[in-house]
Structure 1
Amino acid sequence: MFVRIVKMSFHSNHIQEFEQMFDEKKEQIRNTEGCQLLELYQDKINPEIFFTYSFWNTEQDLENYRNSDFFKTTWQQTKGYFNNKPEAWSVDKKESLT
């Protein structure tokens, strides 16, 4: 399993817009071929910082999503809300205890 973690920091006046946009698009993201999980987190100390956490079957599934018109349009809109450069990590899931 391939995991993608993205850290995003937003201008405080755009947080509500981002959350609304995410709510409108989350099902389509989650239902993208190869996406097994999608989660959104907000930092407890700094409410301007958010993380997305997604599980993908393969790196190619993520790349297919990232090359889609849907992603390009969504990411372009999201970038307009940032107050800092986003950071992203691609990691392999090693263990999970539930």
Structure 2
Amino acid sequence: MFVRIVKMGFYEENIETFLSNFDKNKAKIRRFEGCQFLELYRDKNDPTIFFTYSYWDSEDALESYRKSDLFKGVWSVTKPLFSIPAEAWSVDKLESLK
């Protein structure tokens, strides 16, 4: 399983716009071919920092999403709201304990 972690920082006045856009698109992202899981987190110490965790079948599946009209639409709204550049990590999930 391929995991994508994205850290995003927003200007305080842009947080509601981000959350609204995420809410509007989260089901579409989750249903995108190859996406197995999607979560949104908010930092406990800095409420302007958010993280998305998404699980993908493969790197190719993620790249397909990143080239899609859905991603371009979501990102065109999200990117101008940033207070800091987004950071992204691509990792392989090795183990999960429940």
The structural deviation recorded for 1:70 is 1.2
Give unpaired runs (5+ residues) of structure 2. Answer: none
The structural deviation recorded for 1:73 is 1.6
Q: Runs of 4+ in structure 1 displaced over 2 angstroms? A: none
Q: Secondary structure at the match of 1:94?
A: coil
Give unpaired runs (5+ residues) of structure 1. Answer: none
Q: Please name the residue that 2:12 is paired with.
A: 12
The structural deviation recorded for 1:80 is 1.1
Report the number of matched residues: 98
The structural deviation recorded for 1:44 is 0.6
More strand by share: 2
If the length of structure 1 is used for normalisation, what is the TM-score?
0.98
The structural deviation recorded for 1:78 is 0.2
Q: Please name the residue that 2:63 is paired with.
A: 63
Q: Secondary structure at the match of 1:61?
A: helix
Alignment deviations for residues 1-58 of structure 1 (CA, whole Å, 9 cap, x no partner): 0000000000000001110110010000000001000000000110000000000001
Percent identity, please.
58
Q: Please name the residue that 2:45 is paired with.
A: 45
If the length of structure 2 is used for normalisation, what is the TM-score?
0.98
Aligned Cα root-mean-square deviation (Å): 0.5
2:96 is aligned with 1:96: yes
Q: Please name the residue that 2:31 is paired with.
A: 31
The structural deviation recorded for 1:69 is 1.1
